[in-house]
Every structure is written in C-alpha cells, then in structure tokens.
C-alpha cells in the first residue's frame, strides 16, 4: 500500500493506493453510519456492490455519465431528495466514479446543511491522479465549466488501481493527458518515462508520483491564487474547446490540444507531439474557430478585467505563470 498525506491546514487527509482496497472499505470508514453514495450509470456495478455489501444505512444516487451531470438541475434534485429522505448532518457522502462524479458529489457535500463529510473513491485514471485531490468541487454553468463551486477537501481518498482495467483505451488515455501535463510542468524524468516506458507495468508508482506533484501545488496554494494555477497548463484553451465541442471532446483530449497550442513555439514541441501520439491523444481540433474560442476564454475564471494568467512551459519540467492582456491569447489560438 502507498499512503500520501495531504497536509492542508483546514483538513489534513490521506490518499491510500492499494489494489482491491474497495473490498476493504470497512477498514477506512464506519460502514454502519448514514451514507450517501453518488455514482454514475457508466462505471461497473460491481464497484458499487463491493463497497456497499457491508453497509446497513445507505442511499445511492446514480447520475448520467458525462459533463452534463455537473448541472444545477441534477445537483438540486439530489439535494432535494436528501432533504425528503431526512438525511442528517452526520451523513457521509461517497463519490464513486470519475472526475464528474467527484466534482458533483463534493459540491453537494459542501452545501448540504452547510457542509457534510465526504470521501473520494476515484475509478478513472484522470480522477485518481488529478480531480480527487485538492478540494476543487463544483458544477458547470451554461457557458462556463466549473463556474459554480467551492474548495471543500475530502476526508479520505481511496484508490484501487484495479479499476483502471475496466477503462476503454480512450478513457485511459484521457487520464494520460493529465499525467503528461505533470511531466511537462514539474518532472522531466516523468515525461521521459511516459515517452519511453510502458507505465502500465508499474502504474501504482506513477499514480503516487502524480499525486505528490499535485500535493506540492495544492498545499502551498489551497485556494488557487498563486502557484497552483500552474496545474492549469493547457486548460484555459482546453476548457474553451470542451465547451465549444459541447463536451464531445473528453477533458483530457481538450487539454491535449490546449497543451499543443501553448507549446508550439518551443524546441521540445516535436517530443510533446510524439508523446501525445503515443497515447492517441489529439493534437488539433477539427472544428477550430479562434473567434468562438476567444469568446469562451473571455469568461474564464482566471480572466480579470482585461488580463488573464496563462501557464507557459519554457522547457520540459519547468512552468511559469505569465499575466497577459486577454487579447494576446489570440496569439496562441
């Protein structure tokens, strides 16, 4: 087992990585307490059956797979049902699924009765190395991804690498985009491993490595006011692509294109393209319309008045934050 402690002042918690940890959930939580499980209709039902078999007082809310689930309508529907079921403040909310489920469940936990405890059980590569750690929870507005949300840390994160076996290659590679991002911004050796090695043979080590990279940014900048923004490399344009494509592009696929556009002037650019190609990640967006993407970017959360912070990687393993006039983002489109 691998244990990573996230020492945030407001709430320190552990991330546990261990195969078959789903079968041992009773060692980590009180399975007899009041529990709300939020999951989606895509992940294997065996995961739900495995964690719930010993629970005596639980309710399951299943949402549709995909970004559409991160809506005010679905969040309110679950909250309203929880009230009708007389769920108390002593409940535990469990997010069982990918990043969408984690964001939605965490958001619901953060506002139900002004906040109840929740834990993350991420079942996709992207959620295991990225969205389950750091406390960003929220839902989408009609014209902006993650526009409505809060910072609300889980009490625990349980990662079972065996769940990755159920992912399609497309879903696995979706998460690889975020792993490539970590190599780009903070760890050249990780980037080289991804290019040269079969990382699936030792996936636990790479999960741990990515979470530790994220930890360094999150602990120092919980509320995303400074260095944590480096984790958004490729995301400003990527989020615009996601919205423009009406989420027909997966998050990692959109971020892949975003990284390409932010890196096209640097000498390492061909290596990045080779690595993205290795994992069948897109390096362009066929429906590209710079004027329409710019309109989405203007409403990005990182935009302030006429400026926006962008993340640049001058060389692999090193990233900087640069404040530019928002019109200058057109140079990257």
Question: Which among 112, 69, 136 has a CA at the least distance from the CA of 301?
Answer: 136
Q: State the residue range of the domain holding 142.
A: 2-166
3-class SS shares of the chain: helix, strand, coil, % to 5: 50, 20, 30
Whether residue 212 is found in the same domain as residue 184: yes
Q: Where residue 289 sits, what CATH number does that domain have?
A: 1.20.1090.10
φ/ψ of 282, rounded to 5, equals -70, 145
Residue found under tokens 């290659």: 169
For residue 157, what pLDDT is reported? 98
Average pLDDT of the chain is 96
Q: What is the pTM for the complete model shown?
A: 0.96
Q: Within 13 Å and on the Cβ side, how many CA atoms surround 25?
A: 26
CB atoms within 10 A of CB 3: 10
Q: Where residue 29 sits, what CATH number does that domain have?
A: 3.40.50.1970
CB 308 within 8 A of CB 179: no
The answer, yes or no, to whether residue 144 has pLDDT greater than 90, is no
**CA distances from residue 314 to 113, 121, 216, 299 in whole angstroms, order as listed:** 46, 35, 20, 26
Whether residue 321 is found in the same domain as residue 177: yes
Whether residue 58 is found in the same domain as residue 74: yes
Whether residue 100 is found in the same domain as residue 209: no
For residue 302, what pLDDT is reported? 81
Total domains in the chain come to 2
Tokens standing for 8?
């945030």
Whether residue 233 is found in the same domain as residue 133: no
- What are the pLDDT digits (tens) for 197-250? 999 999 999 999 999 999 999 999 999 999 999 999 999 999 999 999 999 999
Question: Which among 318, 317, 320, 319 has a CA at the least distance from the CA of 187?
Answer: 317
Average pLDDT over residues 149-163: 98
Calpha distance 102→106 (Å, rounded): 6
CB 259 within 8 A of CB 183: no
Calpha distance 105→116 (Å, rounded): 11
For residue 191, what pLDDT is reported? 98
DSSP three-state, residue 40: strand
Whether residue 160 is found in the same domain as residue 14: yes
Question: At which of 115, 133, 166 does a domain end?
Answer: 166
Calpha distance 312→203 (Å, rounded): 28
The answer, yes or no, to whether residue 115 has pLDDT greater than 90, is yes
The answer, yes or no, to whether residue 128 has pLDDT greater than 90, is yes
Whether residue 183 is found in the same domain as residue 317: yes
Whether residue 150 is found in the same domain as residue 7: yes
- Torsion sign across C-alpha atoms 162, 119, 67, 313: negative
Calpha distance 271→153 (Å, rounded): 36
Whether residue 180 is found in the same domain as residue 105: no
Question: At which of 141, 166, 191 does a domain end?
Answer: 166
Whether residue 235 is found in the same domain as residue 280: yes
DSSP three-state, residue 190: helix
- What are the pLDDT digits (tens) for 295-333? 999 888 888 889 999 999 999 999 999 999 999 999 999
Tokens standing for 76?
């309110």
The answer, yes or no, to whether residue 53 has pLDDT greater than 90, is yes
Question: At which of 166, 201, 225 does a domain end?
Answer: 166
- What are the pLDDT digits (tens) for 69-104? 999 999 999 999 999 999 999 999 999 999 999 999
Whether residue 90 is found in the same domain as residue 229: no
Enter the DSSP assignment of 249.
S
Calpha distance 301→242 (Å, rounded): 15
Whether residue 11 is found in the same domain as residue 160: yes
Bridge-based pairing of strands 12-17 and 303-304 is unpaired
The answer, yes or no, to whether residue 142 has pLDDT greater than 90, is no
């Amino acid at each position: 087992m691998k244990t990573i402690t996230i020492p945030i002042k407001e709430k320190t918690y552990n991330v546990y990585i261990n195969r078959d940890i789903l079968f041992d959930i009773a060692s980590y939580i009180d399975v007899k307490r009041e529990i709300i499980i939020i999951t989606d209709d895509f992940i294997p039902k065996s995961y739900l059956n495995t964690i719930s078999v010993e629970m005596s007082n639980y309710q399951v809310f299943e949402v549709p797979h995909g970004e559409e689930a991160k809506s005010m309508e679905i969040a309110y529907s679950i909250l309203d049902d929880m009230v009708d079921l007389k769920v108390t403040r002593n409940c535990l909310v469990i997010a069982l699924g990918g990043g969408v489920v984690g964001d939605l469940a965490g958001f619901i936990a953060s506002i139900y009765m002004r906040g109840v405890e929740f834990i993350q059980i991420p079942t996709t590569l992207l959620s295991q190395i990225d969205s389950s750690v750091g406390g960003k929870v929220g839902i989408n507005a009609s014209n902006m991804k993650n526009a409505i949300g809060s910072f609300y840390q889980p009490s625990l994160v349980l990662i079972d690498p065996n769940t990755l076996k159920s992912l399609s290659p497309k879903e696995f590679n979706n998460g690889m985009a975020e792993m490539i991002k970590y190599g780009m911004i903070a760890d050249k050796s990780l980037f080289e491993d991804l290019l040269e090695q079969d990382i699936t043979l030792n996936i636990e080590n790479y999960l741990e490595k990515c979470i530790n990279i994220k930890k360094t940014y999150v602990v120092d900048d919980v509320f995303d006011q400074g260095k944590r923004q480096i984790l958004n490399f490729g995301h400003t344009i990527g989020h615009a692509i996601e919205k423009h494509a009406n989420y027909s592009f997966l998050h990692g696929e959109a971020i892949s294109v975003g990284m390409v556009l932010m890196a096209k002037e640097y000498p390492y650019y061909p290596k990045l393209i080779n690595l993205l190609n290795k994992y069948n990640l897109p390096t362009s967006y066929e429906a590209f319309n710079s004027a329409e993407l710019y309109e989405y970017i203007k409403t990005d959360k990182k935009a302030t008045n006429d400026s926006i912070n962008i993340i640049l990687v001058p060389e692999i393993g090193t990233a900087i934050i640069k404040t530019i006039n928002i019109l200058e983002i057109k140079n990257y489109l």
